[in-house]
Amino acid sequence: MSTLDTAPPTGAARSAGSAAWLTSTDAQRAAALALPQDVRDFLEGGSGAEATLAANRAAFEDLFLVPRVLADASATSTAATVLGAPAAMPAGIAPMAYQRLFHPDGEPAAARAAQAAGIPYVAGMLSTCPLEEITAVCSQTWLQLYWLRDRALLTDLVDRAEAAGCSALVLAVDVPRMGRRLRDMRNAFALPRDIVAANFPPSETHSARRGAAGTSAVMVHTSEAFDPTLSWDDVAWLRGRTELRLVIKGVLHPEDAARAVELGADAVVVSNHGGRQLDGAVPAPSVLPAVCDAVAGRGEVLLDGGVRSGTDVLKALALGASAVLVGRPVLWGLAADGQRGVERVLSLLRTELEDALVLSGCTDVTRASGLDVVPRGIPLSPAALRKGPRW
Ligand SMILES: Cc1cc2nc3c(=O)[nH]c(=O)nc-3n(C[C@H](O)[C@H](O)[C@H](O)COP(=O)(O)O)c2cc1C
């Protein structure tokens, strides 16, 4: 990401919107050309010194798979089960706010692309169209919630999610307040007049549009709207309030993950919010095996943060995840080419995953959990290669 921030667009970058995208970075380049600088910063940025943002990528780059051979990979499938439902690959689209900032077609375009790709779409509570416009185009919609001071608005959204046919609620627990996103503060980032948080009454989001030097209006709005008292009692309350599947997003400690499933959560998302909350928080792949141990099959364990390729998906599966959520690459596709751009990003991810499965001797995604994955550069003892299933 950092090279893109400084490098002037090259000829290759300028034509990246129309040329084939061979990696998600091609989509990132195309998006960079399509977006104003402050929106691009909102998309790309993390909190503080962006150490966690960078560590998310480094964590994947520093892990290496130990492929298996002679496994007859002639008929390899990426099909998976995500939160109990069939999916074309072990992935979903992560909740991301304000998608009309990136393309006029916004959330419905990304949700249609998820539907076409056969994976779930997690609608952000802070979407720029009403939830029902998303569920109308995507049969596997999950709704992400932040804990609102306005409890009536929160429960109304839970009721709407049930009525609209959502398959899950995703409670984001890592935002008692918004992290200090310095790029947005420097840009005095504020929502343009035509971008609304459509699930909120208009009066509730005025502050998100009021720019002021040295601060982010979006951050001001969240501090007004989000309730920092959120605790385990509220998770228990929400569990009792809805029959929908419940996913707790934003855990990193194994004990928190275990407590979430003990309270009846169906899944956790191991996530540091794409490096946008606690700067210095650990990257998700580093804690994933410990979280999976603690959850011990009592719920699904998803991961997000830094997933950029099918190989990253395979590494996450090898570390024990059941699926990943894809974040920024979806917004790159959306910004560059609307629904088609998101479809291109998701199709690329699936192609790469299929390729990685074939080349690592896995005929399907369930085999991936048996792959060994090791850190860079350490001579391995026989005990380090311990997982291999006998097939
Ligand atoms: C522009 C943007 C907006 C986001 N908005 C939300 C949100 O409203 N709710 C939420 O739970 N997570 C939000 N996230 C975090 C994502 O769900 C996800 O955790 C993160 O993007 C994963 O990191 P990656 O994008 O680097 O893969 C947002 C992320 C980005 C980049």
Output the DSSP codes for 338-349: HHHHHHHHHHHH
- Structural domain for 285, as ranges: 2-373
| Cβ of 92 below 6 Å from ligand 1 | no
- What sign does the dihedral 148-153-155-161 (CA atoms) show? negative
Q: What is the DSSP letter of 214?
A: T
Predicted pLDDT at 6: 40
Average pLDDT of adjacent 10-residue blocks, the chain of 391 residues: 43 55 98 98 98 98 96 93 98 98 98 98 98 98 97 97 98 96 95 92 78 86 92 98 98 98 98 98 97 98 98 98 98 98 98 98 95 86 66 37
Q: Is residue 60 part of a domain?
A: yes
pLDDT of residue 15: 44
Q: Provide the pLDDT for residue 389.
A: 45
DSSP bridge pairs for 80: 87
User: What is the Cα gyration radius of the chain?
Assistant: 20
Is 311 a member of any domain? yes
How far apart CA 331 and CA 350 sit, in angstroms, is: 17
Please indicate, yes or no, if residue 164 is contained in any of the structural domains: yes
Q: Which helix (H) or strand (E) holds 142?
A: strand 141-145
Residue 365 lies in a domain: yes
Q: What is the pLDDT of residue 381?
A: 79
pLDDT for 269: 99
Is the shortest distance between the CB of 172 and ligand 1 below 6 Å? yes
Contact status, residue 171 vs residue 145, Cβ threshold 8 Å? yes
The residue whose CB lies within 8 Å of the most ligand 1 atoms, and thus the one to mutate among 44, 273, 315, is 273
Does the Cβ of 94 fall within 6 Å of ligand 1? yes
Q: What separation in Å is there between the alpha carbon of 30 and the centre of ligand 1?
A: 20
Residue in the structure block whose two tokens are 């997690």: 122
CA-nearest residue, atom 4 of ligand 1: 96
273 lines ligand 1 (CB under 6 A): yes
Ligand 1 atom showing the smallest separation from residue 95 Cα: 17
Residue 169 in any domain: the answer is yes
Give the pLDDT score at 18: 64
144 Cβ below 6 A of ligand 1:
yes
390 lies in some domain: no
The answer, yes or no, to whether any atom of ligand 1 lies below 6 A from the CB of 222, is: no
Let me know how long the chain is: 391
Q: Is 247 in the pocket of ligand 1 (CB under 6 A)?
A: no
pLDDT value at residue 390: 41
Does the Cβ of 207 fall within 6 Å of ligand 1? Answer: no
HEC string of 37-90?
A: HHHHHHHHCCCCCCHHHHHHHHHHHCEEEECCCCCCCCCCCCCEEECCEEECCC
What is the rounded distance in angstroms from the CA atom of residue 232 to the CA atom of residue 136? 33
Provide the 3-class DSSP secondary structure of residue 257: helix
C-alpha of residue 219 to centroid of ligand 1, in Å: 14
Using the mean position of ligand 1's atoms as its centre, give its distance from the Cα of residue 303 in Å.
12
Asked whether 53 and 274 are in contact (CB, 8 A), the reply is yes
From the CA of 53, give the closest atom in ligand 1: 26
Which tokens go with 282?
A: 């650990």
Specify the number of domains making up the chain.
1
The H-or-E segment that residue 258 falls in is helix 254-262
Instruction: Name residue, tokens 């004990």.
Output: 255
Residue 380 falls inside a structural domain: no
Atom of ligand 1 nearest to the CA of 122: 17
Residue owning the nearest CA to atom 13 of ligand 1: 96
Q: In the numeric block, which tokens belong to residue 3?
A: 């090279």
Whether 273 sits among the annotated catalytic residues: the reply is yes
d(CA 291, CA 84): 19
**C-alpha span between 211 and 198 (Å, rounded):** 19
Question: What per-residue confidence (pLDDT) applies to 207?
Answer: 80
Which ligand 1 atom minimizes the distance to the CA of 124? 8
The rounded Å distance from CA 217 to ligand 1 centre is: 17
Contact (Cβ atoms closer than 8 angstroms) between residue 120 and residue 83: yes
Considering the domain boundaries, does residue 317 fall inside one? yes
Give the pLDDT confidence score for residue 380 in this predicted structure.
76
How close is the Cα of 363 to the center of ligand 1, in Å? Answer: 31
Q: Which pLDDT belongs to residue 208?
A: 81
Assess whether the C-beta atom of 97 lies below 6 angstroms from ligand 1: yes
Contact 24 CB / ligand 1 (< 6 Å) = no
Active-site annotation holder among 103, 206, 253, 273:
273
**Token pair listed for 17:** 């919107």
CATH code of the domain containing 188: 3.20.20.70
**Contact of 171 with 124, CB cutoff 8 Å:** no
Query: CA distances (Å), 302 to each of 96, 152, 179, 249, 293, in order?
Result: 16, 29, 22, 9, 13
Q: Please give the pLDDT value at position 206.
A: 77
